[in-house]
Structure 1
Amino acid sequence: MAAQSAAQRNLRESQILARKIDLLLDVVLTTEGKPYEFQDIQSALAENGIKLSRTRWHHMKAGDATVRQPTEVVIGLAEFFGINPDYLLTADGEIPDRIKSELELLAAMRRAKVREFATRTLSEVDSETLDAIAALLDDSTKY
């Protein structure tokens, strides 16, 4: 039973790491505003003496618990993305301020898009009702 519990914990941690990596890839962009590619990450880590194979990267992104990820690779990824390594190394690591800011910006942009769509679509609705809908949208789209 204890072995199964350890296996489940390992699976959970691997899946959390995968979600965190996906989040970083979604919100941390290149200077051109594009998502980082594997080759960008691999090259940057190699400059610091850290080897990241495409296979390891696939296992990390897939949350594969059968392949243990070396701490130095995880720390190298944190350094690449400019965040505290604890975020990636611990399952309950605090979301870095940089990521929080990006998420807040994305949420605000989504709220603005939804509000604009609702205003266009519901143009025949009176302004009091539109204000009530906008308030609901603001409350429901906060993360």
Structure 2
Amino acid sequence: MTWKLGEEEKFQRAQVLAAKVNLLLDAIVDRSGRPYDYPVIGAGTRKIGHYVSRTRWSRLRNGQDQVVPDECLRAIATVFGVNPEYLLDENAPLPPEVEAELPRVRIKRLSEVRDFAVKALAVVDPERLKAITEILDEAIHSSRPAPDTKTDRR
């Protein structure tokens, strides 16, 4: 494993792993189009011979310091269908499956921020809410892929 294992890097390692796992959760869905959840992860890792407890999964997703064996990370990567190096190597590139979904993930996350702002500011400050939602709506709109403008030349 190529992770830095010094005391100072434990927190960073946990945060990087959490970010990577949460990006997998946002970007990759199961065959029916639903996001993965613990029951799917737990069953999938057991099917390939590795048990990931609900506690370990929660701690991993939340960036809490823990020792995560390479076998566990390989099993999780296998469930998601990505190269295990993505989770094993701190500097590994994004899997192509994830990179292809980044525009959708960006829109989803911006929408979540917009929804939070609406809930938090609707009663307190309607003018600021309007300004923030306009900015976020524009960001969401600009994040959408442009329609394919190629013409059929026969």
* TM-score normalised by structure 1 residue count: 0.68
Q: CA RMSD in A?
A: 2.5
Q: CA deviation at 1:108?
A: 7.6
Separation of aligned partners in 2, 1:104 and 1:97: 13
Query: Displacement of 1:109 after TM fit?
Result: 8.8
Q: Which amino acid in the other structure matches residue 37 of structure 1?
A: D
Displacement of 1:82 in angstroms is 0.9
Distance verdict in 2 for CA 1:49–1:59, change over 3 Å = same
Q: Which residue of 2 aligns with 1:48?
A: 48
Query: Partner of 1:95 in structure 2?
Result: 94
Q: 1:8, CA displacement in angstroms?
A: 2.3
What is the aligned length?
111
Say if 2:78 is the partner of 1:79.
yes
Deviation at 1:7, TM superposition (A): 2.0
Q: Structure 1 runs of 4+ off > 4 angstroms?
A: 105-110
Any idea what SS the aligned residue of 1:20 has? helix
CA offset at residue 77 of structure 1? 0.7
Say if 1:6 and 1:43 are closer, same or farther in 2 by CA, change over 3 A.
same
Partner of 1:31: 31
The answer to which structure has the higher helix fraction is: 1
**Mind listing any 5+ residue stretches in structure 2 that lack a counterpart?**
110-137, 145-154
Aligned-partner Cα distance in 1 for 2:22–2:41? 13
> Which residue of 2 is the match for residue 10 of structure 1?
10
Tell me by how many angstroms 1:45 deviates. Answer: 0.7
Q: Distance in 2 between matches of 1:84 and 1:97?
A: 10
Corresponding residue for 1:68? Answer: 67
Larger Rg: 1
What CA deviation, in whole Å up to 9, does each residue of 1:22-72 have, x standing for no partner? 01001111122111110111011101110111111111111112x200110
Q: 1:35 to 1:54 in 2, by over 3 A?
A: same
Report % sequence identity. 30
Task: Using the TM superposition, give the Cα deviation of residue 107 of structure 1 relative to its aligned residue in structure 2, in angstroms.
Answer: 4.9
